[in-house]
A and B are shown apart, each in its own frame.
Chain A
Amino acid sequence: MIRHLAGRVGQALVACFGVLTIVFFVMRLSGDPTLLLVPEGATAEQIAALRHELGFDRPLLVQYAAYLGDLARLDLGESLVQRAPVAGIVAERIPYTVALAAGALLVALGLGIPAGIAMAVWRGSIIERALAAFVLAGQSLPTFWSGILMILFFGVTLGWLPTSGADGLSSLVMPSVALGALTMSTFARMTRISVLDELSRDYVAAARARGLSRMAAVGRHVLRNAAIPVVTIAALEVGNLLAGAVIVETVFAWPGIGQLAIQSIAARDFLIVQSVVLFVSIVYIAMNLLADLAYAGIDPRIRLER
């Protein structure tokens, strides 16, 4: 078990290293960043001076080594637009995005998993069809549209919730629902398939032959077995939530890293974009690691492996 854990952590570290390397080189592939930063009409000497100041005239591998060195000291550089440390600017936004992602995940897990279980257990019934319609809606309504509709209805017409901004928990409700809808549908569909798959297994028939009711067999045996694929999806979906946050944060003027990324791209604030990409990637890798550890919690076959 310890070896399994250490192995997974090691793999995650290698993946992180790969990500930051790719981020570094891909950002350089998009051309000389100096040209993005100088004001229009700058002279060649001014450009060269800035390039030298920022270190972009050094060989690529030297820049890469410097970048790794900075990262090791958690120095992400200085924003070229705001003239402030990038780390501070990004860190300020992270709690908002984490709160939004957590809210969305709560919506997605809280509605998606029970819906998926119910669809499998009451397969072919009116319950399944009603839930299927609900899940399809969550899956097919684009966030920018459903978000604006919600703002209109709950914010403007009913006045129950703030239309935008980050002002307490009430302002978190609509963005969470908008962001969580697609993930909720994914959880519901995955859970349904997984539970149906387990329901057809012999151990369910055997449990019923021992006298368990169908519901007791589901509760005692099926759900735990069905959880394994759902945990995998849940980890991957956190990455999708962070990506989806870009749109939702824009629609609801939510001051998270998604909004920061959009603003920075518009302002060509290159180092901030690079740091946001890095943050999202590392969260993604961390969630996968967490999922691996969760399997070991669920499945004794993994836990007892030597």
Chain B
Amino acid sequence: MAEAALTVENLSLDLGPARLVDGVGFSVAPGEVMALVGESGCGKSVTAQAIMRLLPDVIRQSGGRIRLGADDLTALPERAMQTIRGRRLSMIFQEPQAALDPLSTIGAQIAETLRAPLSRVRGEVRRMLEDVGISDPERRIDQHPFELSGGMCQRVMIASALIARPAVLIADEPTTALDVTIQAQILDLLRRLATERRTAVVLITHDMGVVADIADRLAVMYAGRIAETGPTEGIFAAPRHPYTALLLASIPRLSDAPKSLLAVIEGRVPTPAEFGPGCRFASRCPRADAMCRSVTPVLGEVAPGHAIACHHPLGVGEAV
């Protein structure tokens, strides 16, 4: 992956003595959508904040590197980061209406990405609004977020994130707060813009359905580590890590018998304070043995581009 737009290597994030994210690494190529999947608390959102270099004060990056193209972001001073954010690296958020200043017009907020007053870049902003599928952009440009629906606000956020043609877009649960029909439209839009503009997208989600819709590759995170990573099709067809397999099995299907029980993963994600040695999924894993509880599994390739961190991986086509 010499031409990766974004490379995260061995990233570790600490909250006091607790290690929230432990040695996470992945890379995304231009035009590719890479999904970072996991339950809440698995460290996917702090990973996004670390890439943006907008971590809360209490969380510290204790190791690893983040490279945007050829530049090492971890070494950059804040002032240099400010010139990168919005222009080369941008982000959209879970709650589009909360992510827009209620008192500013949407046009003014999109123009901020271009570091110019709206009056000077009005045409460009209008074209971008059109490109994200907002009708009557000339009128919308001067409206406030409360005059727009949630789906339209997310389109506005995407416009503000992509107007400066960044190499990388981080989308943190971009459709979680939206209606299902709107979700599909927003995902289609992201997919189209990523392809057209050769933008690398890091999609953070807990929803395997969203992953199946638009991700080229995915990395499944569990309790601050990557459990399995690889091409979406391969993993959906034959998950090799028991956690991934259980996650996929927990998606309800139309073919399930009516009123059948939903498949669940017993137990809960350990908190950082409970992290011990060994595999962090061991307490919930039906295949776990003594080795799993004492030796941390390392990520190893099982097929080209497909890696898992498990002592007892599933065979291809094998159920948990």
Contact = CB atoms under 8 A, between A and B. Distances in A.
A301 B145 CA distance: 10
B12 interface: no
19 contacts: A203-B100, A203-B101, A205-B54, A205-B99, A206-B157, A207-B101, A209-B54, A209-B85, A210-B113, A210-B160, A211-B86, A211-B115, A212-B112, A213-B78, A221-B101, A221-B104, A225-B101, A299-B103, A300-B144
Contacts of A299: 102-103
Interface of B: 52, 54, 78-79, 82-87, 90-95, 98-104, 109, 112-113, 115, 144, 146-147, 157, 160-161
A224 interface: yes
Interface residues of A, number: 21
Contacts of B90: 209-210
Nearest to A214: B78
A225 B98 CA distance: 13
Given A202-B94, A210-B109, 18 more contacts: A203-B98, A206-B91, A206-B93, A206-B157, A207-B101, A207-B109, A207-B112, A209-B91, A209-B161, A210-B113, A211-B85, A211-B113, A213-B82, A220-B112, A221-B101, A221-B104, A224-B103, A304-B147
A202 B93 contact: yes
A152 to B, nearest CB: 45
Interface of A: 201-203, 205-213, 220-221, 224-225, 298-301, 304
A298 to B, nearest CB: 7
A220 B112 CA distance: 10
A146 B78 CA distance: 45
Kindly list the 4 A-B residue pairs having the minimum CB-CB distance in the complex, ordered from nearest: A211-B86, A206-B99, A202-B98, A209-B91
B54 A208 contact: yes
Nearest to A223: B103
Nearest to A201: B98
Contacts of A225: 101-103
B144 to A, nearest CB: 5
Nearest to A299: B103
Contacts, number: 78
A38 B234 CA distance: 103
Chain B at the A interface: SS class: mixed
Contacts of B95: 202
A202 B231 CA distance: 32
Contacts of A208: 52, 54, 85
A224 B102 CA distance: 10
A161 B31 CA distance: 72
A209 B79 CA distance: 13
Contacts of A301: 102, 144, 146
Best-surrounded residue of B83, B99, B113 (most CB of chain A within 10 A): B99
A210 B85 contact: yes
Contacts of B87: 211
B92 to A, nearest CB: 8
B86 A298 contact: no
Nearest to A298: B103
Contacts of A220: 101, 104, 112
A201 B92 CA distance: 14
Contacts of A203: 98-102
B103 A209 contact: no
A213 B87 CA distance: 14
Contacts of A211: 82-87, 112-113, 115
A301 B113 CA distance: 24
B147 to A, nearest CB: 8
A303 to B, nearest CB: 10
Contacts of B113: 210-211
